[in-house]
Amino acid sequence: QKEVEQDPGPLSVPEGAIVSLNCTYSNSAFQYFMWYRQYSRKGPELLMYTYSSGNKEDGRFTAQVDKSSKYISLFIRDSQPSDSATYLCAMGGNNFNKFYFGSGTKLNVKP
Amino acid sequence: GAVVSQHPSRVICKSGTSVKIECRSLDFQATTMFWYRQFPKKSLMLMATSNEGSKATYEQGVEKDKFLINHASLTLSTLTVTSAHPEDSSFYICSARDYPRPDSPHEKLFFGSGTQLSVL
Protein backbone atom coordinates (compact mmCIF):
# COMPACT_ATOMS: atom_id res chain seq x y z
CA GLN A 1 0.00 0.00 0.00
CA LYS A 2 1.29 3.43 -0.90
CA GLU A 3 1.81 5.89 1.91
CA VAL A 4 -0.30 8.50 0.11
CA GLU A 5 -3.02 7.91 -2.47
CA GLN A 6 -4.32 10.59 -4.79
CA ASP A 7 -6.58 10.29 -7.81
CA PRO A 8 -4.54 11.44 -10.83
CA GLY A 9 -7.59 12.75 -12.70
CA PRO A 10 -7.78 14.59 -14.99
CA LEU A 11 -10.57 16.57 -13.40
CA SER A 12 -12.36 18.95 -15.72
CA VAL A 13 -14.77 21.57 -14.39
CA PRO A 14 -16.42 24.73 -15.72
CA GLU A 15 -15.23 28.13 -14.56
CA GLY A 16 -16.85 29.13 -11.28
CA ALA A 17 -17.31 25.58 -10.02
CA ILE A 18 -16.25 24.38 -6.60
CA VAL A 19 -13.40 21.91 -6.88
CA SER A 20 -12.71 19.19 -4.36
CA LEU A 21 -9.32 17.48 -4.36
CA ASN A 22 -8.51 14.66 -1.97
CA CYS A 23 -5.79 12.42 -0.65
CA THR A 24 -5.84 9.46 1.68
CA TYR A 25 -2.91 8.21 3.68
CA SER A 26 -1.96 5.23 5.75
CA ASN A 27 0.43 6.49 8.41
CA SER A 28 -1.32 7.94 11.43
CA ALA A 29 1.93 9.57 12.57
CA PHE A 30 1.82 12.26 9.88
CA GLN A 31 1.45 15.72 11.42
CA TYR A 32 2.04 18.19 8.60
CA PHE A 33 -0.19 18.30 5.57
CA MET A 34 0.48 20.47 2.56
CA TRP A 35 -1.05 21.19 -0.81
CA TYR A 36 1.02 22.32 -3.76
CA ARG A 37 0.08 23.65 -7.16
CA GLN A 38 2.38 22.82 -10.04
CA TYR A 39 2.19 24.33 -13.50
CA SER A 40 3.82 22.48 -16.35
CA ARG A 41 7.62 22.60 -16.20
CA LYS A 42 7.62 24.64 -12.99
CA GLY A 43 8.44 23.77 -9.41
CA PRO A 44 5.52 23.06 -7.04
CA GLU A 45 4.18 26.13 -5.24
CA LEU A 46 3.02 25.78 -1.64
CA LEU A 47 -0.68 26.68 -1.45
CA MET A 48 -1.81 25.55 1.95
CA TYR A 49 -0.38 23.81 4.96
CA THR A 50 -2.13 22.41 7.98
CA TYR A 51 -0.76 21.05 11.19
CA SER A 52 -2.72 18.14 12.67
CA SER A 53 -6.49 18.15 12.19
CA GLY A 54 -8.85 20.91 11.29
CA ASN A 55 -9.62 23.41 8.59
CA LYS A 56 -7.69 26.29 7.18
CA GLU A 57 -8.97 28.89 4.78
CA ASP A 58 -7.05 31.28 2.56
CA GLY A 59 -9.00 33.23 0.00
CA ARG A 60 -10.68 30.80 -2.37
CA PHE A 61 -8.82 27.84 -0.92
CA THR A 62 -9.81 25.69 2.06
CA ALA A 63 -7.77 22.79 3.36
CA GLN A 64 -9.28 20.15 5.59
CA VAL A 65 -7.60 17.38 7.53
CA ASP A 66 -9.50 14.49 9.08
CA LYS A 67 -6.93 12.45 10.94
CA SER A 68 -9.49 9.93 12.18
CA SER A 69 -10.24 8.99 8.58
CA LYS A 70 -6.71 9.66 7.29
CA TYR A 71 -8.21 11.90 4.65
CA ILE A 72 -7.28 15.39 3.52
CA SER A 73 -9.04 17.71 1.12
CA LEU A 74 -8.45 20.93 -0.76
CA PHE A 75 -11.45 22.94 -1.87
CA ILE A 76 -11.23 25.66 -4.49
CA ARG A 77 -14.17 28.03 -4.69
CA ASP A 78 -15.07 30.06 -7.78
CA SER A 79 -12.50 28.17 -9.82
CA GLN A 80 -10.70 30.09 -12.54
CA PRO A 81 -8.95 28.95 -15.73
CA SER A 82 -5.70 30.07 -14.09
CA ASP A 83 -6.29 27.35 -11.47
CA SER A 84 -5.66 24.75 -14.17
CA ALA A 85 -2.61 22.88 -12.95
CA THR A 86 -1.57 19.72 -11.16
CA TYR A 87 -2.26 19.68 -7.43
CA LEU A 88 -0.05 17.63 -5.17
CA CYS A 89 -0.70 16.70 -1.58
CA ALA A 90 2.24 16.12 0.73
CA MET A 91 2.65 15.09 4.31
CA GLY A 92 5.30 14.48 6.91
CA GLY A 93 6.10 14.92 10.56
CA ASN A 94 8.76 15.44 13.17
CA ASN A 95 9.63 11.76 13.17
CA PHE A 96 10.03 11.55 9.42
CA ASN A 97 13.19 12.39 7.55
CA LYS A 98 11.33 13.04 4.31
CA PHE A 99 7.95 14.05 2.97
CA TYR A 100 5.48 11.81 1.21
CA PHE A 101 3.65 12.94 -1.88
CA GLY A 102 0.51 12.00 -3.70
CA SER A 103 0.80 11.37 -7.41
CA GLY A 104 -0.93 14.67 -8.20
CA THR A 105 -4.36 15.49 -9.63
CA LYS A 106 -4.48 17.33 -12.92
CA LEU A 107 -7.21 19.99 -12.88
CA ASN A 108 -8.59 21.72 -15.95
CA VAL A 109 -10.94 24.66 -15.45
CA LYS A 110 -12.74 25.46 -18.67
CA PRO A 111 -13.67 29.07 -19.44
CA GLY B 1 6.42 32.48 1.97
CA ALA B 2 9.99 31.33 1.96
CA VAL B 3 11.86 31.35 -1.31
CA VAL B 4 14.03 28.67 -2.80
CA SER B 5 16.08 29.63 -5.81
CA GLN B 6 17.19 26.99 -8.32
CA HIS B 7 19.59 27.58 -11.20
CA PRO B 8 19.85 27.10 -14.06
CA SER B 9 16.25 26.75 -15.18
CA ARG B 10 17.27 25.06 -18.38
CA VAL B 11 20.46 23.45 -19.59
CA ILE B 12 21.38 21.65 -22.77
CA CYS B 13 24.63 19.73 -22.81
CA LYS B 14 26.53 17.18 -24.81
CA SER B 15 26.69 13.57 -23.77
CA GLY B 16 29.62 12.92 -21.45
CA THR B 17 29.73 16.36 -19.87
CA SER B 18 28.85 17.16 -16.27
CA VAL B 19 26.16 19.58 -15.22
CA LYS B 20 25.80 21.34 -11.87
CA ILE B 21 22.46 22.52 -10.53
CA GLU B 22 22.29 24.89 -7.57
CA CYS B 23 19.57 25.17 -4.97
CA ARG B 24 19.55 28.06 -2.51
CA SER B 25 17.25 28.92 0.36
CA LEU B 26 17.05 32.70 0.28
CA ASP B 27 15.45 33.67 3.59
CA PHE B 28 15.87 30.70 5.88
CA GLN B 29 18.53 28.21 6.80
CA ALA B 30 17.89 24.80 5.33
CA THR B 31 19.77 22.04 7.07
CA THR B 32 17.88 19.58 4.91
CA MET B 33 17.24 19.81 1.19
CA PHE B 34 15.79 17.25 -1.18
CA TRP B 35 16.43 16.51 -4.82
CA TYR B 36 13.73 15.11 -7.08
CA ARG B 37 13.41 14.00 -10.63
CA GLN B 38 10.16 14.36 -12.53
CA PHE B 39 9.21 12.76 -15.82
CA PRO B 40 6.47 14.25 -18.02
CA LYS B 41 3.03 13.90 -16.47
CA LYS B 42 4.47 11.97 -13.54
CA SER B 43 4.83 12.82 -9.90
CA LEU B 44 7.99 13.73 -8.08
CA MET B 45 10.54 10.98 -7.58
CA LEU B 46 12.79 11.56 -4.59
CA MET B 47 16.42 11.01 -5.51
CA ALA B 48 18.24 11.96 -2.36
CA THR B 49 18.15 13.85 0.91
CA SER B 50 20.89 16.39 1.37
CA ASN B 51 21.96 17.29 4.91
CA GLU B 52 24.27 20.19 5.60
CA GLY B 53 27.72 19.07 6.56
CA SER B 54 27.15 15.38 5.98
CA LYS B 55 26.82 12.90 3.16
CA ALA B 56 23.60 12.76 1.23
CA THR B 57 21.20 9.87 1.65
CA TYR B 58 20.24 8.37 -1.67
CA GLU B 59 17.03 6.54 -2.47
CA GLN B 60 17.21 2.99 -3.70
CA GLY B 61 18.22 2.76 -7.32
CA VAL B 62 19.82 6.21 -7.50
CA GLU B 63 23.53 6.10 -8.35
CA LYS B 64 25.42 8.26 -5.89
CA ASP B 65 28.49 8.44 -8.15
CA LYS B 66 26.31 9.63 -10.99
CA PHE B 67 24.38 12.24 -9.04
CA LEU B 68 26.79 14.01 -6.74
CA ILE B 69 25.24 16.10 -4.00
CA ASN B 70 27.05 18.67 -1.94
CA HIS B 71 25.45 20.63 0.90
CA ALA B 72 28.33 22.71 2.15
CA SER B 73 26.36 25.54 3.71
CA LEU B 74 23.01 26.08 5.39
CA THR B 75 21.64 27.81 2.30
CA LEU B 76 23.14 25.95 -0.63
CA SER B 77 22.94 22.44 -2.01
CA THR B 78 24.22 21.39 -5.41
CA LEU B 79 23.45 18.43 -7.60
CA THR B 80 26.03 17.47 -10.21
CA VAL B 81 25.01 15.07 -12.94
CA THR B 82 28.31 13.52 -13.93
CA SER B 83 29.04 12.22 -17.42
CA ALA B 84 25.50 12.96 -18.48
CA HIS B 85 23.79 10.76 -21.04
CA PRO B 86 20.52 11.21 -22.92
CA GLU B 87 18.69 9.01 -20.43
CA ASP B 88 19.53 11.57 -17.73
CA SER B 89 17.41 14.13 -19.55
CA SER B 90 14.66 15.10 -17.15
CA PHE B 91 13.19 17.82 -14.98
CA TYR B 92 15.12 18.11 -11.72
CA ILE B 93 13.62 19.93 -8.74
CA CYS B 94 15.04 20.75 -5.34
CA SER B 95 13.21 21.54 -2.15
CA ALA B 96 14.27 22.89 1.22
CA ARG B 97 12.87 21.95 4.58
CA ASP B 98 11.91 24.93 6.70
CA TYR B 99 11.99 23.72 10.28
CA PRO B 100 9.83 25.36 12.95
CA ARG B 101 11.12 28.72 14.18
CA PRO B 102 9.62 31.54 16.27
CA ASP B 103 8.14 33.40 13.31
CA SER B 104 7.00 30.24 11.57
CA PRO B 105 5.94 27.62 14.11
CA HIS B 106 5.21 24.77 11.75
CA GLU B 107 7.44 22.84 9.43
CA LYS B 108 7.05 23.45 5.72
CA LEU B 109 8.67 22.38 2.47
CA PHE B 110 9.46 24.86 -0.29
CA PHE B 111 10.45 24.03 -3.83
CA GLY B 112 12.76 25.54 -6.36
CA SER B 113 11.52 26.34 -9.85
CA GLY B 114 13.12 23.29 -11.41
CA THR B 115 15.82 22.62 -14.00
CA GLN B 116 15.08 21.08 -17.36
CA LEU B 117 18.13 19.07 -18.41
CA SER B 118 18.46 17.97 -22.01
CA VAL B 119 21.45 15.80 -22.91
CA LEU B 120 22.19 15.53 -26.61
For the stretch A36-66, pLDDT in tens is 999 998 999 999 999 888 899 999 999 999 9
Average pLDDT across chain A, whole number: 93
- Under an 8 A CB cutoff, do A94 and B46 touch? no
- Which 3 state secondary structure label does DSSP give A1? coil
Minimum-distance CB partner of A101 among B4, B44, B49: B44
- Which 3 state secondary structure label does DSSP give A104? coil
Is the confidence at residue A70, as pLDDT, over 70?
yes
Report the pLDDT value the prediction gives residue B27, as an integer from 0 to 100. Answer: 86
* Residue of A24, A18, A48, A25 lying closest to A36 (CA atoms): A48
Minimum-distance CB partner of B112 among A32, A43, A97: A43
* Residue of A20, A18, A34 lying closest to B106 (CA atoms): A34
E strand or H helix at A35: strand A32-38
Contacts of B116 in chain A (CB under 8 A): 41
> Stretch A83-105: mean pLDDT, rounded?
91
Those residues of chain B that have pLDDT short of 70 are 1-2
Q: Which of residues 59-88 of B touch A (CB under 8 A)?
A: none
Is the confidence at residue A94, as pLDDT, over 80?
no
What span, in angstroms and rounded, lies between the C-alpha atoms of A42 and A38?
Answer: 6
Residue B116 touches chain A, beta carbons under 8 Å: yes
Beta-carbon contacts of residue A54 (< 8 Å; ≥ 6 apart): A64, A65
